[in-house]
Chain A
Amino acid sequence: MSTYIYAITAGDHPARLDGLEAVGASGSLRTVAGRSQKAVVSDAPPELRAKRRDLVAHQAVLERLLEDGSALPMRFGLVAPDEQAVVAALDENTEGYAQSLEQLHGRVEYNLKATRDQDDLLREIVAESEEVRQLNEATRENPAAQDNKVALGELIAREVEQREGREAGALVDALAPAAVGNVPGAPVDGHFVNVSFLVDRTRAKDFTDVVQAEADRRGAAYELKLNGPLPPYSFV
């Protein structure tokens, strides 16, 4: 029977799995032990898809494991042919897994996404670029001037990209000292920042305070969304 994998933990992790639902609601959660580590698994449902219920189940298992110690979160949807294959995979890389578990000990992920009101950014660009200002006036007076419009838009697009890049860099630089590490996430829908930070649990309050301070400094045109503590998805 194919086996769905949630996480790899140290052999002595308590792995309290009571009351949690398995992905696909098929069967119960259990652990499979290798020489040094164990994996948290369940029977894989026959037709697994990324439904909301299943994503929630996957995430909930990882969050529970995180409460009691270090756990390496698997990407959603990973299926082994059977339990023996899971054991073999564990034993193939015991030292690597041990090292990762050690590195992540007492650490959690915080994901930060930030947006800036588009009109606020455009207003800044108009105020600071003579060329944009002129083209804007010209196209306002003559809306049919398609070439000018494209030129204006292209100019703005370049300014937006540059300014968002600078702002993202400054924001990450300001937060980085309060974290152990950070990795950029994939660009998401109009956000100028999508970054994950690895943070020591004991310093979590410091980190969130710094995020708050940065948000305060930037004012109302910005929206910072901080999610955490999360399983360290981005650091395995």
Chain B
Amino acid sequence: MTVMQQQSGTAATSGGGGGNLYDVLELILDRGLVIDAFVRVSLVGIEILKIDVRVVVASVDTYLRFAEACNRLDLEAGRKAPSKLTELAGELTENGAKGKSKGALSGAVEAVSDSLSGRDSDSDDERRRSTSSRRTTSRRKEEA
């Protein structure tokens, strides 16, 4: 289990703002009130964050990746000791960031963090922040 709770809007972080920007990006860009009479800035390149999962999943490419991931799977541990499934997965999660970025549905988000970067170092920050709550915390302290 991992819960990464990222607080914002509290006295402790006032003035910092947006330390957890990456994870709330689609709220800022795609939610919020719109007044029809007004113009919205063009966000070319940003819409990529929204992906239609059904389209991505239903492709031969995705099928093959799933099949290969399944072929690579270490089934022995699971078959012999099903009750230890959770624990085994826990060890795998240590490499969680790597594993996930190779997942069948990855790719879109990194592209977004690239297009978002006002400065180059920012995009690196965002990427790291999305996989590390501790780094987020220390960064937020600097900003505060």
Contact = CB atoms under 8 A, between A and B. Distances in A.
B116 A52 contact: yes
A231 B63 CA distance: 39
For chain A, which range describes its interface: under 10, 10 to 19, 20 to 34, or 35 or more residues? 35 or more
A192 to B, nearest CB: 9
Contacts of A161: 53-54, 57
Contact of B27 (A63, A108, A124, A196): A196
Contacts of A124: 85
For chain B, which range describes its interface: under 10, 10 to 19, 20 to 34, or 35 or more residues? 35 or more
Given A59-B18, A60-B17, A152-B67, A67 B9 contact: yes
Given A78-B35, A234-B27, A226 B6 contact: yes
Interface of A: 5, 8, 19, 48-60, 63-64, 66-67, 72-81, 85, 89, 108-109, 111, 113, 115, 117-120, 122-127, 132, 135-136, 139-140, 143, 149-150, 152-154, 156-157, 160-161, 185-190, 194, 196, 208, 211-212, 215-231, 233-234, 236
19 contacts: A50-B46, A52-B18, A52-B122, A75-B28, A75-B29, A78-B40, A111-B23, A113-B23, A117-B93, A118-B100, A119-B69, A119-B92, A123-B73, A127-B82, A136-B73, A149-B67, A211-B3, A219-B1, A228-B9
